[in-house]
Amino acid sequence: MATIDNASQQLLAAVAIGLAGHHLFKRFETFSITVQLTFLLAPPLLGASLLTSLQPPLVLIFTATYISTVAGSTLVYRLSPFHPLAKYPGPIWCRLSKFWIAGISYTGRQHTYIKYLHDRYGDIVRTGPNDVSIRDPAALNAIFGPAGLPHGPMYIGRLLTATDMPLVGIMDTEEHLQRRKPWARAFNGAAIREYEPLVAKRTHQFVRALEDQKGEVDIGHWVNYFSYDFMCDMAYGGGSELLSGDGNTNGFWRLLEAGLPVGTFLSHVPWLALYLARIPGTTRPVQRVLAHSEDLTEKRLQNGSCHKDLFYYLNNEDQPDIPPPPMKQVVSEGIVAVVAGSDTVSSALTSIFFCLTAHPEAYKRLQDEIDRFYPPAQDPCDTQYHRGMHYLSAVINEALRIYPPAPGGSQRQVPRGSNGAILGPYFLPAGTVALLHTYSLQRDPRNFSPHPESFWPERWLLASGRISFSEAGIADKALFLHNENAFLPFSYGPMNCVGKNLALLEIRAVVISVLQKFSLELRAGWDTERYEEGFRDQFVTTRPAVPVTLTPRF
């Protein structure tokens, strides 16, 4: 009987220590593996050694009881009314663990799932134990404005490290803004004018490559080649010739498409990424993408610059009086250049060509505008008329609204140790991770009506006063809603997409060039719903093949 009582007391002690362990984890959340393992293993081992005189079976039972108590207490707390996010609704599986939405994100359907959650639960919904998604433009400035929130931890999971983060992953706002300065120099007006010949060169090469194709082509396949070749020119001074017939010799797109699902999954459970990164082979697709990015960057730094490319600025080569930053820092920025610099433009262009070929009236109207500004003898890469092409701008904006290249938006986090944050009508406690969900905002009928989920470029002309309501076919002005605070394909505020203007330059040049030279027609009978179904959100997007026939116009 005494032995049973003693064992019961020891189990009660394990439960008590487990409850204390849960409190430690909750209060001192960290990405340090050493600290995590100390919190997880030290209390039960110490307690067991003191209470059981080092008897191995009881040590194991004591440790198992402790860990079970920590886990059970954590799950109960996440569902309890005492949790600081308890007042915000969400599915029970989301409130219990991030593994639920991580699993959904692996399939690429997190954008449609989060939109479904908003449609069901409202403008703020719990997508994890300490995560919320917001579908309310009123929170825009508080999240992204000058006094907004710092980045969240998602890039720790994507990049398999909590150190040497690139610009987009830096969680300290002041450090981010400091590191952004060379990027700002690389994308200011003067720098972009120097990139214009590179854009023109690759765009003309892209058109010639399409001329060589016979019959039906996957337009997205060739857009991928264009964007990667140009990115290598702009960022690294060259190094890729996919358009010239080398093909996908370095396997970049295969690497990227293999790594995106794993990276997206781990972005929701970044602590797990740090453990898996230490196990050979478990994160091989992500590791290969990162290694490819690092290899390109290291070669560029060794070879030096042949013109003012991105790393001319990132390595402070434009400011010789300032020493270059540490090698690790510059290499980490290469990851952003490779992935964000190529796939986002490719995504936007593929969506634009799909939308145009699926909507013949919009195609015809844009074709007429292009023929007016850029007849056959006019160079489509001469940018003097680009800004005056209002229907082209409307087409680009509308495609980015329906199919944003980063559907999830930019993750932010309320700083730990703060007093929380007020985001519009919502209060979030310290440590909460928040997402202003781009895909949901841009398809919300309260922001864009009519046709909130359809491609209708005329909404942008109507909003700017360039066409009348009667020309747009709207009898009741009250039916038209257009809230550009809910249009965030390039994010917003001082930490927005620094490459926006260059991306738009590329997009305009390519669309004008292709439609000036060719007539595009979707495969007869091809179901346009396949694009919506195949559009995947995995940080950047993956898209299905868009089969078109290209017919020379002249």
Helix or strand holding residue 210 (H, E): helix 189-211
- CA 490/CA 485 separation, integer angstroms: 12
Q: Which residues pair with 427 in a beta bridge?
A: 422
Write the DSSP symbol of residue 167. G
Q: Are 329 and 294 in contact (CB under 8 A)?
A: no
304, with CB counted inside 10 A (0-12, 13-18, 19+), is exposed
- CA 468/CA 475 separation, integer angstroms: 10
* Site of tokens 């005494």: 2
Hey, is 184 helix, strand or coil?
helix
- CA 506/CA 321 separation, integer angstroms: 33
How many CA atoms does the CB half-sphere of 305 hold within 13 Å?
Answer: 14
Neighbours of 363 (CB within 10 A): 19
Q: Are strands 433-436 and 411-413 parallel, antiparallel or unpaired?
A: antiparallel
Helix or strand holding residue 127 (H, E): strand 124-128
Write the DSSP symbol of residue 451. S
C-alpha distances out from residue 196 to 189, 200, 312, 382, 490, Å = 11, 6, 16, 9, 21
Task: Name the H helices within 422-476.
Answer: 438-442, 458-463
306 labelled binding-site residue: no
Neighbours of 471 (CB within 10 A): 11
Tokens of 83: 């949790």
Write the DSSP symbol of residue 539. S
Phi-psi bin for 417: left (phi > 0), alpha (psi -120 to 50), beta?
left
Hey, is 21 helix, strand or coil?
helix
Cα of first residue to Cα of last residue in the chain, in angstroms, is: 98
Q: Are strands 426-428 and 433-436 parallel, antiparallel or unpaired?
A: unpaired
Neighbours of 535 (CB within 10 A): 23
- CA 47/CA 66 separation, integer angstroms: 10
List the binding residues for heme: 497
List the binding residues: 497
